[in-house]
Amino acid sequence: MGTFLGWSITRPSNFAKFAVLAVASVALIIADARHRHVAIAVDGAMARIAYPLQVLAAWPATTVEGVWHDMRTNTRLRHENDRLTRDNRLLQAAVTRLGALSAEVQRLRKILKAPPLPGYRETLAGILGVSSGPFTRELTLDEGRPQHVYVGQPVIDAHGIVGQIIKVGPDTSRVMLVTDPNSGVPVVSQRNGLRAIVFGTGSLRRLKVPYLPMTADIRAGDILVSSGLGGVFPAGYPVAKVERVISDPNEAFLTVTARPLAQLNHHTDVVLLWPLSRTARTHHG
Amino acid sequence: MDNLTARQIATIAATFAVAILLGVMPTPGYAALLRPDWVAIVLVYWCIAIPDRIGIGIAWLIGLLLDGLYGSLLGEQALAKAFLAYLALRFYLRLRIFPRWQQAVAIGLLIAASDVVVLMTKSLVHGNTPIWGDTVPMMINVVLWPFLFPLLREVRRRAKIS
């Protein structure tokens, strides 16, 4: 009694315990990787528990940054104030002269004011965490399902494409960076329209552009912009700058490395894009 | 060998909570890649100190919580942490009598072994290739142990956990 195949059930050995839990882990891993819908309930519950912890963990960093920022701003403001008072007297005179021009400028600006990316709606999203675990480089954003974030949604910053949404939770979402080994972005070279795909390498500073024939016209300094071919990223937005092109006669293709243009290391906010066609669908049925 | 009081359980839970918070706290840029595995260090400490209280089951549950926090594949951290606890329980008598630095290296190796499990799962499921930078946190674990050990021992003595 109390044994199974000679193993004690009431007081299992460490090895027996580990064996059972290892099997359970592998089952969970397979369930998560193969049948997302099975694991999604457990995952959602975990994400709910995790959200307050994430916010709590982000708190010291934001506070310290805030205080540091305030202190620096204070000294800078005092110097600036002196300088500005002087400048102000000079500028007062200029303003009177420029008053007439201002009305015209305002009229022109209205004409010029077009959305930065036609066909897309934009929202600023805050970044909660940078790497979401050991050996991964993902961003965690503070926007989730209630904000209509969806899987496959493009994420950009002021300099280039950051990545795409791969997971949407109740309060957060995760971004796969363009530097992720699983990420591939269809691009064209801005100089000559050469088509290529940019893959991540796992390093935040390096991308690779494989499968380019030896005769392809590509050189260091070329800017690669998204081609929009995959249907995920907006066309014409910068992705990477070619750093090195190595032509090795022993290889079938060129070895091309590039640097991502988005500032993947310095983010506090990124921009989420919604194609307008999709927005219309979500809001009208 | 009496049962732990609620206060003592809370103390142990608090050390894990702090370790988890340190583990998910956002750090600027490259510091994130230098982050030691706080949870693993705390887990190994308790496994060595009170092996009949903290073991493979608790390690597995903590790993599962980490999977939720990291957003990694469910079961990935759970498997690694259970494996780590198993290794720690297997060697705890030897680890206790090692001199501090030797202890640090040995425990660093155990944690590295459990990290290899994580890297293997990642490369099996996602096809991620590990890069050299992945070994940096493993070395930081070794450097950190001689400083964290006295701290955790102090916590344990004050809470009279034995």
Q: What is the pLDDT of residue B32?
A: 66
CB B85 within 8 A of CB B104: no
Question: How many angstroms separate the CA atoms of A48 and A38, rounded?
Answer: 17
Q: Which of B31, B69, B78 is nearest to A53 (CA)?
A: B69
Residue of A20, A21, A263 for testing the chain B interface, max B β-carbons within 10 Å:
A21
- Find chain B residues with C-beta within 8 A of A66's C-beta: none
Q: Please provide the distance, in angstroms rounded to a whole number, between the alpha carbons at the two ends of chain B.
A: 7
What are B107-140's pLDDT values in tens digits?
Answer: 999 999 999 999 988 888 877 777 787 888 899 9
What are A49-72's pLDDT values in tens digits?
Answer: 767 777 777 777 777 777 777 777
Q: What is the average per-residue pLDDT within A153-161?
A: 87
pLDDT band, residue B30 (cuts 50/70/90): low
| Structure tokens given for B58 | 């608790």
Helices B38-49 and B136-158 pack at an angle, to 10 degrees, of: 50
Are B68 and A128 in contact (CB < 8 Å)? no
Are B21 and A17 in contact (CB < 8 Å)? no
Most confident of A90-99, B60-69, B88-97: B88-97
* Average predicted confidence (pLDDT) for chain B: 88
Q: CA-CA-CA-CA torsion for A236, A237, A241, A246, nearest 10 degrees?
A: -50
Which of the pair, B63 or A95, is modelled with greater confidence?
B63
What number is the ipTM of this complex?
Answer: 0.83
CATH architecture of A121-284: Beta Barrel (2.40)
Question: How many angstroms separate the CA atoms of A114 and A125, rounded?
Answer: 21
- The answer, yes or no, to whether residue A273 has pLDDT greater than 80, is yes
Query: Least CB-CB distance to B69: which of A21, A42, A53?
Result: A53
Look at residue B70 and give its three-state secondary structure: helix
Residue of B62, B70, B91 for testing the chain A interface, max A β-carbons within 10 Å:
B70
What are A140-151's pLDDT values in tens digits?
Answer: 888 888 888 999
User: CA-based diameter of chain B, in Å?
Assistant: 48
Q: Domain map of chain A by residue range? A: 2-34, 121-284
- The answer, yes or no, to whether residue B3 has pLDDT greater than 80, is no
What are A104-146's pLDDT values in tens digits?
Answer: 677 666 555 544 566 777 788 888 877 666 777 788 888 888 8
- The answer, yes or no, to whether residue A236 has pLDDT greater than 90, is no
Residue A118 forms contact with B (CB below 8 Å) = no
Q: What is the pLDDT of residue A41?
A: 66
For A176, the closest chain B residue by CA position comes to B71
Query: Least CB-CB distance to B131: which of A45, A46, A203?
Result: A203
- Find chain A residues with C-beta within 8 A of B133's C-beta: 203
Q: What is the pLDDT of residue A8?
A: 72
